Amino acid sequence: MLYVVAWPVLGEGDDAALRRLRAQYHPTQADLIGPHFTLVFGAPLEHEARLRATLKAIDRRPFWFMIERIVRHDLYLFAEPFDGAAELIELHETLDPTPMLGAGAAEPFQPHITLGLFARAAEAEQVARIVERQHLPMRGRIEELSLLRREGERLDTLATYRLAA
């Protein structure tokens, strides 16, 4: 499966906090990939050429985002941006113009960084309140997008594209 991610550039403390949260509450993914915004999720391998061409053609400057809230969605905990969300949605729509190339097409795209997966919703809610008090807001910048291929537990970077400065 193919994925396109936007890499957040964060201050050292914010980056460390997100990595620590993911390691504690989402360890299977934290060992595989650091904090990121997924723009294309689980596209078939046959879309690689189109995704590469679209990524290469993106003419967008780097942009800022601000994470101001932590939300629970089912058993997942997400850090969602307010500032910068429109730019991430626009990138998603450019890269994935169909309702979604991959899995999960039923819900509208909401940019987020996954912080954790919990056994119970109440635990996720409790952690959300703590994280909001201790770590928010977080301000960062998106400067690069990467095309990734996942095969089982292996994740390879196929290409990285810097946004035009």
User: Cα separation of 148 and 56, whole Å?
Assistant: 15
Q: Is the pLDDT of residue 114 over 50?
A: yes
Contact of 81 with 66, CB cutoff 8 Å = yes
Centroid of chain to Cα 52: 18
- In one-letter notation, the amino acid at residue 47 is H
* Residue 108 binned pLDDT confidence (cut-offs 50, 70, 90): confident
Q: Is the pLDDT of residue 91 over 70?
A: yes
Record the pTM: 0.90
> What pLDDT digit, counting tens, does each position of 9-67 carry?
999 999 999 999 999 999 989 889 999 999 999 899 999 999 999 999 999 999 999 99
Mean pLDDT throughout 78-92? 95
Range of the domain at 35: 2-162
Mean pLDDT throughout 131-137? 88
Q: Is the pLDDT of residue 101 over 50?
A: no
Q: How many domains does the chain have?
A: 1
**Residue 28's pLDDT is what?**
87
Contact of 76 with 53, CB cutoff 8 Å = no
CB atoms within 10 A of CB 154: 8
Q: Is the pLDDT of residue 116 over 90?
A: yes
CATH (domain of 42): 3.90.1140.10
